[in-house]
Structure 1
């Protein structure tokens, strides 16, 4: 199992480095900070990076059976739940933004304004806060006060006294992801129709938007499959402990880490403007390019 842990730490470290570079690129360039498309992209980068780091920390604590205060475990689980919901919601918002840009180009400028963008971000975070708030109240209200300072090996399962509480949490998660998957499917169908009707000049941009939406649907599908994992893991727990641990680590990498690592590849590296500026920062300003983002072959 040590080998699994080393591979996991290496993969997590690599993608955290990539995400930090992209966050730095977003924050340094004003053109990105004022564009709805890139602002929504940042709403996946920040929570994804936080979830990768905290999820990896929680897994290491469980692996080494390190006990922490119950109240700290509660806060850790709440923050991870918030990040795990907000990032897919941002993906849905990105798909809707592409839908408006491609299918309603004349209305895009009127819809994508700073006011509507800020309202959308507020609504997105409020929706994302429903399940974490439920976890916080259920865990704190159902536990005796003396348990708050008790030491536990942190897992979301220890936060719930009754089985129905955890079941309700899982059901809410599944409803969230099914609704989000349905919205992304809707945008894909609409953009596909627009791609068929588009002229040769607009077809390239439309097809690129279509591929982006499809990749986001794949991300959400991986996240949705995560909710099958506890049932598979619980059945293996009574058969072979070593196999159970291996499957649990594999599920963590496939259904928690992998979807969060796809966003930089989908938007950050495939987007021409963003990738050009990113490469310039990676090579410490020695990557020369021609771009309308800045003058003298360098970004502003």
Structure 2
């Protein structure tokens, strides 16, 4: 029991730290006109909001499960919809950010035309619509399979609450893996194209291309972590049949590695690696004491 208490405290500490970082980055995003009028920063803000929401919702579910606090299925449906939506928003937005880097490096003359504010807002709408499809499929099948008493039941909320048959879990995983396969193809395509430009370029263009290449690689790594998150329920279900104590350890490891860690990589990739954003972030963090750039404010 003491070990579980320690783990809960560790998770709460990590969630609070990541949320504080995300809030600071969101404040920085709105502190400069060029951030909320540039496509890559707009998409970055979308990932920050999505990551913050998934951190909050997953933490709520963790606390409810820890204290065995039961809620009505209707509220659980709302929590699931928000969580499922945000689960896909982040990787799909990362893919869109990768395409933006591809256009900026491989098609620089068309970048201003293709990456306008209007197109950014349209992209956000498309991202949310695509992200909502798996949720609609899972809930439609669940509602069709559920008995009338399901909607009035009071239980501990979890994703498994909506899985009535084994094949539903496989279908949910298959949809997720199809999405991530498609996103991986886009990222690999962008990586190959940017690498080709980097090899042929020289001077500042080569430096910019290599930096874009590293960003794409980091996006790919984050996408892999998000993909493994979809496999976690199957791994945990298998481990549960072997040993309950081992199951608790595996679930704790999966939560830290495949839910919390991917949600802290976005600040690392754009919040600290982007020079302009980093200077603005440092300015806000030090309450205006830091004044490197006349070009920051």
User: Normalised by the shorter chain, which TM-score bucket?
Assistant: over 0.9
Choose which of 130, 133, 136 in structure 2 pairs with 1:130: 133
What's the counterpart of residue 166 of structure 1?
A: 169
Specify the SS of the correspondent of 2:290: coil
Given that 2:43 and 2:93 are in contact with CA atoms closer than 8 Å, whether structure 1 keeps it comes out as yes
Choose which of 140, 149, 164 in structure 1 pairs with 2:143: 140
Residue 292 of structure 1: CA displacement? 1.5
Q: Structure 2: state its 5+ residue gaps.
A: none
Supply the distance in 1 between the matched residues of 2:225 and 2:121 (Cα, whole angstroms).
29
TM-score, structure 1 as length reference: 0.94
Given that 1:26 and 1:32 are in contact with CA atoms closer than 8 Å, whether structure 2 keeps it comes out as yes
Alignment of 1:43-54 (within 5 A): 43-54=46-57
What's the counterpart of residue 219 of structure 1?
A: 222
Supply the distance in 2 between the matched residues of 1:37 and 1:233 (Cα, whole angstroms).
36
What's the counterpart of residue 195 of structure 2?
A: 192
Choose which of 13, 19, 38 in structure 2 pairs with 1:35: 38
What's the counterpart of residue 19 of structure 1?
A: 22
TM-score, structure 2 as length reference: 0.95
Aligned length: 294
Supply the distance in 2 between the matched residues of 1:236 and 1:229 (Cα, whole angstroms).
10
Specify the SS of the correspondent of 1:73: helix
What's the counterpart of residue 2 of structure 1?
A: 5
Supply the distance in 2 between the matched residues of 1:145 and 1:151 (Cα, whole angstroms).
13
Asked if residue 276 in structure 1 is aligned to residue 279 in structure 2, the reply is: yes
Residue 19 of structure 1: CA displacement? 0.3
Supply the distance in 2 between the matched residues of 1:288 and 1:4 (Cα, whole angstroms).
40
RMSD: 1.3
Supply the distance in 2 between the matched residues of 1:286 and 1:69 (Cα, whole angstroms).
50
**Runs (4+) of structure 1 moved beyond 6 Å?**
none
Supply the distance in 1 between the matched residues of 2:260 and 2:128 (Cα, whole angstroms).
21
Asked if residue 110 in structure 1 is aligned to residue 107 in structure 2, the reply is: no
